Amino acid sequence: MEKISIPSELIRILKSAKNVVALTGAGVSAESGIPTFRDKDGLFTKDNVEDVATPEGFKRNPKLVWEWYSMRREKVKQAHPNPGHIALAKFEEIFPNFTLITQNVDGLHQKAGSRNVIELHGNIMRNKCFANSHPVDVEKLPPSSEIPPRCPVCGSLVRPDVVWFGEFLDPEILSAAEVATRNADVFFTIGTSSEVYPAAGFISLAKESGATVIEINPNETLKSYLADFTFRYPSGKVLPVILDEFTRQKD
């Protein structure tokens, strides 16, 4: 791969930045072996979104949905953070106020050491019941052959604690992400197709609020036109180079 060069203007901007936000999507975890949704081999290229990622799909065929998420959970359990996740965890140490807003449900940012993480779409390792959102620890349920298992409190079916199409995001989480975005001096958008809202709207909000927008994605996206700096490389390759340049150039 050709050498990635980081414009000195970008390093200058990063050096004076106080509030830095990174919005991440499935592309950040691609180099950890977790499939994205809309790429050529993406999950939604193979399976129908309506069947596996909506409340209606779950009502129609809960077993299919539960097994789809079990398959994804197994991949997540085996995955390790890649150099992109690790560089983002280090961003927390170098910027006075760094917020990571992720659409990912795989927990790899936290595994890499990030602490200030806003999980917009939930976490695949958590479960709740369909009817009342009671949190359910499936490891602690008595053995049963029923798939999916049932909530020990109300008997409703158990589902993953992720946000499906047609569902609202947690208002507190949404508001925290909005506040961080409005205050951002620098806003990275990394590994997301920018097709899903409200997440994609944060890129426009950051730009309107005066942030410098940096896109890292091997492919063009619907929000590429908003970027002040663009890196058409995998995030696991670019982010460590940005970090190196930043730490190499002394103030």
Q: Which residues bind ligand OAD (CB under 6 A)?
A: 25-27, 30-31, 36-39, 42, 53, 103, 121, 162-163, 191-193, 195-196, 216-219, 221, 234-235
Q: How crowded is residue 13: how many other Cβ atoms within 10 Å of its Cβ?
A: 16
DSSP 73: H
Closest separation in Å from C-beta 225 to ligand OAD: 14
Q: Rank residues 5 and 197 by Cβ distance to ligand OAD and give the closer one.
A: 197
The catalytic position among 80, 85, 109, 121 is 121
- Residue 114 or residue 193: which is nearer to ligand OAD going by CB? 193
Integer Rg of the chain from CA: 19
Confirm if 217 and 245 have CB atoms less than 8 A apart: no
Q: What angle, rounded to 10 degrees, do the helices at 83-94 and 235-248 form?
A: 30
Where does residue 132 rank: exposed (0-12), middle (13-18), buried (19+ CB within 10 A)? exposed
Nearer to ligand OAD, 185 or 215 (CB): 215
Tell me how far, at minimum, the Cβ of 155 lies from ligand OAD, in Å: 26
- Shortest Å, Cβ 36 to ligand OAD: 3
By beta-carbon distance, which residue lies closest to ligand OAD? Answer: 27
Please report how close the Cβ of residue 144 comes to ligand OAD at its closest, in angstroms.
27
Q: Quick one: 25 or 149, whose CB is closer to ligand OAD?
A: 25
Those residues with Cβ within 8 angstroms of residue 29's Cβ, 6 or more apart along the chain or in another chain:
36, 79, 82, 85, 104, 106, 108, 191
Type of residue at 170: D
Q: Is 109 a catalytic residue?
A: no
32 vs 96: CA distance, rounded Å: 28
| Sign of CA pseudo-dihedral 29, 213, 215, 227 | positive
| C-alpha closest to that of 166 among 38, 248, 52, 74 | 52
**Choice between 37 and 98, CB closer to ligand OAD:** 37
Q: CB of 147: closest distance to ligand OAD in angstroms? A: 21
Active-site residues: which are they? 121
